[in-house]
Amino acid sequence: MFWERHCEDDQVNVKALVDSWQVESPEDNFFFQPSSSVDHMLLVYQSSSQRDLLRKYGEEFVLMDSTHNITRYDIPLFLVCVATNVGYYVVGSFFTERETAEQIASGLEVLKQWNKTWKPISFMCDYDVSEISAVEQTFKGCDVYVCDFHREQAWLRWLKRKEVKQDGEAVLKILREIAQSDDEDMYVANVTALKSLPIYSTNTDLKNWLDKFWLPQKKRWVYCYRKDSLKLRVNTTNGVEAQHSVLKRKFLKSCNGSISLSAVVKIIIKEFLTCDQERYIRKNVEKGADLLQSVFQKLTEIEKMILESVPKLSNLPLRRKTKRKFNKGKKSLEKSAEQRMVKQSSQSHEKEFTDENEQDDIFDKLLEEIWINQEMTQGKILGRIGPYSISDSSIRHLGGAISDEIIDAYFYLLDEKSPSICHINCIVMTAIFNGSTERLGILQRENFNAYDCIFGVVNEGGSHWTLVAISQTAT
């Protein structure tokens, strides 16, 4: 049977397991201190993956809760958890012999030594004096809050007493209002309302319970005294409670709290916490898939927005399609290519053609000569589209990497046809995304509020262009 022991002293079994695991998994942390006449029993465990989670999520807020009756011995198990991007996960665990402040603090101290930079801003636990004292002793300056669920549970149990049951609902209502106080003035007003109840003056037990146990500890359970970030994230240790529930129902269901410590430790470390880490990975994979799907949908929406914001291609001044012939073996073309290219490059942007077909034919011949005789291109200006000069080198690059001026010229035509969009050229847009301010003076004269869409292209690494479109009307 899985709980069969090879030694009568269960502590020897636990030490044997810990020693073997430390050899098998040197990257994980184990600490075992057997019970003796001078030391209490303490077993602490933290895997390398748990250590990574604590480093990532445990600087601001940590939860701790204990559970009992999982072994034949009367010893508590403490789980230390953090709220991750996909739920609550264990980042450390320990068994102590007794649930005292000193022994709980010793378990936390071991975890602290394993994580030298760990300085949590706040902890949340039950309203247990030993747990609170242990945390405050281990982490100086750390704020310790009481879990809302356990606080409510404690109120319900106490107010069911026979002597206060009749007025319990009225007391509970005001206590809840105190807990939800948004500021200190509201807190004072709600406390005044509580003390104005007749039962507060007539029932000494109730008055002592409130005045000695709850009201002096207001900063641990009243909403307005919690850190702003904590108000938005967590208010109970139910995430840790859920971990305890899974451990008992799924992994220890058939044991009924009657097995040895070594058997429980083996189940917790090799099964329960291993599954916990696998669940974290699986949830993140699922979330990643959902995120990719969401990104895809968002990109589709952006694409649609861009297409709706810019004019249709049919509105642009498109050239007549012609059948181009590229015959590199045609000697007559090669012979006079350089002379015709130089002559036409100096005249094409100055001459006005009355015949569109004639213009297209000249363009076609010029393109053929540039692409056939690439070594002859000298950066000569062939023409301008708005402020952008198109050279023979610009045309030559169309056979490979498209140049900035070609992209800018194309988008200039889009911009020119629609007064509701604004095009920012490649140089300026790239400077913006690189954090440079040298070329941004030109933007100061532009009233961007007058446009529905602002767009441009970012040149990344000199070889990759990314279209950036900003819609000022999309919600």
The predicted-structure confidence for 359-410, as pLDDT tens digits, reads as follows 566 666 766 676 666 666 667 777 788 888 877 777 776 666 677 888 888 8
Instruction: Report the percent of the chain where pLDDT is more than 70.
Output: 68
Cβ-Cβ contacts under 8 Å for 188 (sequence gap 6 or more) = none
Q: What is the pLDDT of residue 408?
A: 83
Give me the residue label for tokens 């046809």: 417
Query: Does 471 score more than 70 pLDDT?
Result: yes
CA distances from 301 to 91, 223, 255, 293, 421 (A): 40, 40, 55, 12, 18
Check residue 457 and report its DSSP letter.
E
Instruction: Determine the pLDDT at residue 405.
Output: 81
How sure is the predictor about 221, in pLDDT bands with cuts at 50, 70 and 90?
Answer: very high
Q: What is the DSSP string of 83-96?
A: EETTEEEEEEEEEE
Instruction: Using pLDDT thresholds of 50, 70 and 90, give the confidence band for residue 346.
Output: very low
* pLDDT computed for residue 204 by the predictor: 92
Distance, in Å, from the CA atom of 348 to the CA atom of 369, rounded to the nearest integer, reads 14
Q: In 160-208, which residue ranges form alpha helices assigned H by DSSP?
A: 168-179, 184-195, 198-202, 204-208
Mean pLDDT of 190-200: 94
Rounded alpha-carbon distances, angstroms, from residue 7 to 2, 10, 12, 257, 400:
14, 7, 7, 20, 76
Task: Identify the helix (H) or strand (E) that includes residue 131.
Answer: helix 129-138
What pLDDT sits at residue 322?
41
SS3 content of the chain, % helix, strand, coil (to 5): 55, 15, 30
Confidence of residue 32 (pLDDT cuts 50, 70, 90): very high
What proportion of the chain, given as a percentage, has pLDDT over 90? 34
For range 350-360, the mean pLDDT = 52
Residue 295 has pLDDT above 70, yes or no: no
- Lowest mean pLDDT of 213-222, 413-422, 425-434, name the range: 413-422
Cα distances (angstroms) measured from residue 44 to each of 11, 293, 470: 14, 41, 53
Burial class (CB in 10 A: 0-12, 13-18, 19+), 293: exposed
Look at residue 93 in the predicted model and tell me its pLDDT.
95
Res 235: pLDDT: 52
Write the secondary structure of 19-75 as one string of H (helix), E (strand) and C (coil).
HHHHHHCCCCEEEEECCCCCCCCEEEEECHHHHHHHHHHCCCEEEEEEECCCCCCCC
Q: How high is the pLDDT of residue 3?
A: 36
- Mean pLDDT to the nearest integer, 218-228: 85
Alpha-carbon distance of 137 to 123, in angstroms, equals 12
Greatest mean pLDDT among 171-185, 298-312, 444-458? 171-185
What pLDDT does 165 receive? 79
For residues 104 and 243, which has the higher predicted lDDT (pLDDT)?
104
Q: What is the mean pLDDT of residues 252-256?
A: 64
Residues 6 or more apart whose CB falls under 8 angstroms from that of 27 comprise 48
CA distance readout (Å), 384 to 123, 399, 412, 417: 67, 20, 11, 17
Q: What is the pLDDT of residue 423?
A: 81
Residue type, 393: S
pLDDT over 50 (residue 64):
yes
Q: Number of H helices and number of E strands within the chain?
A: 19, 12
For 282, residues 6+ apart whose C-beta sits below 8 A from its C-beta are: none
Model confidence pLDDT, tens digit, residues 323-338: 434 343 333 334 444 4
Q: Which residue, among 164, 242, 173, 250, has the nearest Cα to 205 in the 3D structure?
A: 164
Q: At what angle do helices 184-195 and 168-179 cross, to 10 degrees?
A: 170
- Which SS3 state, helix, strand or coil, does residue 415 take? helix
pLDDT for residue 439 is more than 60: no
pLDDT of residue 147: 85
Q: What is the mean pLDDT of the chain?
A: 77
Beta 87-96 vs 42-46: how paired, if at all? antiparallel
Q: Looking at residues 421-442, what average pLDDT do you find?
A: 75
Indicate if the pLDDT at residue 276 is higher than 60.
Answer: yes
What is residue 21's predicted lDDT score, i.e. its pLDDT? 95
User: 3-class DSSP state for residue 471?
Assistant: strand
Dihedral of the alpha carbons of 46, 47, 51, 53, in degrees to the nearest 10: -110
pLDDT per residue as tens digits for the range 91-144:
999 999 999 999 999 999 999 999 999 999 999 888 899 999 999 999 999 999
